[in-house]
Amino acid sequence: QSALTQPASVSGSPGQSITISCTGTSSDVGGFNYVSWYQQYPGKAPKLMIYDVSIRPSGVSNRFSGSKSGNTASLTISGLQAEDEADYYCSSYTSSSTLDVFGAGTKVTVL
Amino acid sequence: EVQLVESGGGLVQPGRSLRLSCAASGFTFDDYAMHWVRQSPGKGLEWVSGISWNSGTIDYADSVKGRFTISRDNAKNSLYLQMNSLRGEDTALYYCAKDMEGTFHYYHMDVWGKGTTVTVSS
């Protein structure tokens, strides 16, 4: 069981916006601005999409954005495209322990 | 080109040991913390261990603490994971990942290898 809670799946139609949530506690998501998001295609290595809640690494599409409110961080994908269909994982710095650095992951389906 | 290449995986019997290696290139290895992350078949990502740039700070997931040892050789641009007392639940694809920082506790893994597969079975 992950310390960071993500929905198992989120879906949307091409062109729509979807949001994936990542809920933690004040010891991790809520207490620090060190939330990261990773995208993973089947059979491929993960890719860093967002770090420090809302910063996009160079080369990541600006259709991906991150935010945080209280103990919940969110990844929003705008203008959803077929290529966005993948698994997405959140992670966070935690002051409590190193158990379950990653959320369980969210499968994004483009309808 | 920034690159991480893992090696050392394979089929091993329960209770035995295995040593994974990760060769880094294309960046100043000793500036950055490194991680091992694993993924069991059909499952999510599991952080296994992290090591700071100078090996001064090391930590492990509870599931491997006392059995796995992470280390690095900055002169050889290499990261290692010594895995002892292996169990069936350690079966996974093991990724080596570079952090964006010299410390690993922010989990900013910006470069990943393709992974090496470890199968623990009799």
Q: How far is B114 from chain A (nearest CA, A)?
A: 6
| A93/B107 touch (CB, cutoff 8 Å), yes or no | yes
What pLDDT shows up at residue A1?
Answer: 54
The reported pLDDT for the residue numbered A100 is: 75
Looking at the complex, report in whole angstroms how far the Cα of residue A90 sits from the nearest Cα belonging to chain B: 10
Q: Between A and B, how many CB-CB pairs are < 8 A?
A: 65
Alpha-carbon separation of residue A5 from A22, A85, A105, B20, B110 (angstroms)? 5, 20, 8, 31, 22
Sites in chain B below the pLDDT cut of 70: none
pLDDT digits (tens), chain A, 111 positions: 568 999 999 999 999 999 999 999 998 999 999 999 999 999 999 999 999 999 999 999 999 999 999 999 999 999 999 999 999 999 998 887 656 789 999 999 999
Select from A34, A89, A98 the Cβ nearest to the Cβ of B44: A89
* CB-CB neighbors (< 8 A) of A100 in chain B: 46-47
String of DSSP letters for A83-101: GG-EEEEEEE--SS-SS--
The CA distance from A62 to A76, in Å, is 10
What token pair was written down for B14? 């329960």
Q: Return the pLDDT at A3.
A: 84
